[in-house]
Amino acid sequence: MSSFPCLVRSVSPSGATRFALGDPLVDRYLGFVAGRARAETLRATVFDLKAFFTVIVKAPVDVVAADVFEFLAHQRGDRWVIRNGDRESGLSARTIARRLSSVSGFYAYLVARGDTPVVSNPVPRGLSTRRQGGSKRSQSVPLVRVPRTLPTILSPAEVRALVSALRTHRDRAMIFAMLLGGLRRCEVLGLRLKDLWPGEHRVFVVDGKGGHQRIVSMSDKFFTAVGDYLDLERPPGCSTDRVFVVLKGQRRGQPLTAAGLDEIFTGARQRAGLDHGSCHQLRHTCLTRLREAGMSLEAVQAQAGHRSIESTRIYLHLTNDWLANEYKRAAALIDIDNAAIAGQLASDAEGIR
């Protein structure tokens, strides 16, 4: 157990990165995750489990619920780093909740196997309350309360500065895919040449979040930038069918990676003088502007690829005019009702006299 958890990276015959932490059960679970999830999910699971077993120095089969609470206390303990967002110390509630989810997933896997001493998941679903009736969910509170925060978007001036700072047609096409089409970073990098339908002004997302497919409408600006990139910049003779590839260096002509796109975006943001901004914020900006322009909530949901419309409702609160207009309409009706009641009371008073 002295070498656990010890992170070891390797490359599979197919070229995919694989991870091991030094425990047979944990490593088998990581192999299971690698076969059913994206690389980003696998990487997050690896580091979440490493963080857990670094704090809880036990064999995985010996972990109990008390250890989970010990881990929670450690993650939110006194730290000298203070976050600007909420002025709290320690890790954010969202990060801790994700780590607990990774640990819970590992133990759910052990329980499902049926060949280990683990017969129940040591990660509690929540703390029970004294509330009677209702659903089971309403009778418990989560171990970690994750605040529902509004996504950050870029202003029109910030968007113009960012686009002006891009150096290639390829970079502009990728940014437009997120900014004008609402695509996720992984969806942009996963686009194949045959997924572009310029005649219909649409793009086929073959591998969206959760493996779900969808067809997305796309602006002419995107297809113009893609066309210029394919004609002028894409290296000839590329063996990959991925749209976006590396333009220079040893990996020239190979598919662009998430780290490569992040590096491009960070450089453009710095040249534009922006102190915030991410690929996902471009997606938030797109969906917010579509809603502001009058696109129905159901249409925004389809464009975004949200499985639940509840995920889309947050954009109602980001739009500048929606809430104000709804309030003004309701307030006007209230004023009309109050005026009618006042008139009726005045009339009744006259009759009594």
SS (HEC) of 104-146: HHHHHHHHHHCCCCCCCCCCCCCEECCCCCCCCHHHEECCCCC
Pair (204, 282) in one structural domain: yes
| Residues in a beta bridge with 217 | 202
Q: Report yes or no on 2 lying in a domain.
A: no
pLDDT, tens digit, for every residue of 176-186? 999 999 999 99
Neighbours of 75 (CB within 10 A): 20
Distances in whole angstroms, Cα of residue 330 to Cα of each of 180, 327, 333: 33, 5, 5
- Cβ pair 279, 261 in contact under 8 A: yes
Instruction: Out of 141, 174, 202, pick the residue that ends a domain.
Output: 141
The one-letter code for the residue type at 102 is S
Q: pLDDT value at position 219?
A: 93
Q: Report yes or no on 256 lying in a domain.
A: yes
Pair (221, 115) in one structural domain: no
Q: Report yes or no on 3 lying in a domain.
A: no
What is the pLDDT averaged over residues 254-258?
93
Q: How far apart are CA 91 and CA 88, in angstroms?
A: 9
Q: pLDDT value at position 135?
A: 55
- Structure tokens, 151: 């996504």
Q: What is the CATH number of the domain that holds 261?
A: 1.10.443.10
Which pTM value belongs to this model? 0.73
Q: pLDDT value at position 130?
A: 62
Residue scoring higher pLDDT (25 or 133): 25
Q: Report yes or no on 66 lying in a domain.
A: yes
Q: pLDDT value at position 139?
A: 59
Q: What is the CATH number of the domain that holds 56?
A: 1.10.150
Report cis status (omega within 30 of 0) of the bond before 13. no
Q: pLDDT value at position 337?
A: 64
Pair (65, 198) in one structural domain: no
pLDDT, tens digit, for every residue of 298-307? 999 999 999 8
Q: pLDDT value at position 189?
A: 94
- Cβ pair 67, 53 in contact under 8 A: no
Side-chain-side CA neighbours of residue 304 (13 Å): 28
- Split at pLDDT 50, 70, 90, the class of 1 is very low
Instruction: Out of 76, 110, 141, pick the residue that ends a domain.
Output: 141
Neighbours of 69 (CB within 10 A): 12
Instruction: Out of 141, 170, 198, pick the residue that ends a domain.
Output: 141
Q: Tell me whether residue 163 is exposed, middle or buried, using C-beta atoms within 10 angstroms of its C-beta: 0 to 12, 13 to 18, 19 or more.
A: middle
Q: What angle do CA 31, 34, 38 make, to 5 degrees?
A: 165
Pair (332, 313) in one structural domain: no
Which residue has tokens 């260096």?
A: 249
Q: Report yes or no on 165 lying in a domain.
A: yes
Distances in whole angstroms, Cα of residue 345 to Cα of each of 112, 150, 191, 329: 70, 45, 67, 25
Secondary structure of residue 245 in the 3-state scheme: strand
Pair (167, 222) in one structural domain: yes
Q: How far apart are CA 305 and CA 319, in angstroms?
A: 19
Total tally of structural domains belonging to the chain? 3
Pair (197, 298) in one structural domain: yes
pLDDT, tens digit, for every residue of 108-124? 999 999 999 999 999 99
- Cβ pair 32, 18 in contact under 8 A: no
Which range has highest mean pLDDT (107-111, 147-151, 328-332, 338-342)?
A: 107-111
Q: Report yes or no on 240 lying in a domain.
A: yes
Pair (215, 85) in one structural domain: no
- Cβ pair 188, 244 in contact under 8 A: yes
Q: Report yes or no on 147 lying in a domain.
A: no
What is the pLDDT averaged over residues 128-135?
61
Domain span at residue 106 reads 8-127+135-141
Q: How far apart are CA 185 and CA 279, in angstroms?
A: 6
Q: Report yes or no on 103 lying in a domain.
A: yes
Q: Tell me whether residue 124 is exposed, middle or buried, using C-beta atoms within 10 angstroms of its C-beta: 0 to 12, 13 to 18, 19 or more.
A: middle
Pair (236, 204) in one structural domain: yes
pLDDT, tens digit, for every residue of 135-146? 555 557 788 887
State the chain's mean pLDDT as an integer.
Answer: 87
Pair (219, 116) in one structural domain: no
- Examine the pLDDT at 107 and tell me if it is beyond 90: yes
pLDDT, tens digit, for every residue of 13-50? 877 889 999 999 999 999 999 988 888 899 999 999 99
Pair (263, 296) in one structural domain: yes
Share of the chain above pLDDT 70, in %: 85
Would you say the C-alpha torsion 315, 321, 323, 326 has a positive or negative sign? Answer: negative
Residue ranges of alpha helices (H) inside the chain are 24-34, 39-55, 65-75, 93-113, 156-164, 169-179, 185-189, 220-232, 258-272, 279-292, 297-304, 314-318, 322-352
- Structure tokens, 139: 């009778």
Pair (42, 113) in one structural domain: yes
Nearest alpha-carbon partner for 124 in 178, 70, 164: 70
Pair (166, 262) in one structural domain: yes
pLDDT, tens digit, for every residue of 196-234? 999 999 999 998 887 789 999 999 999 999 999 999 999
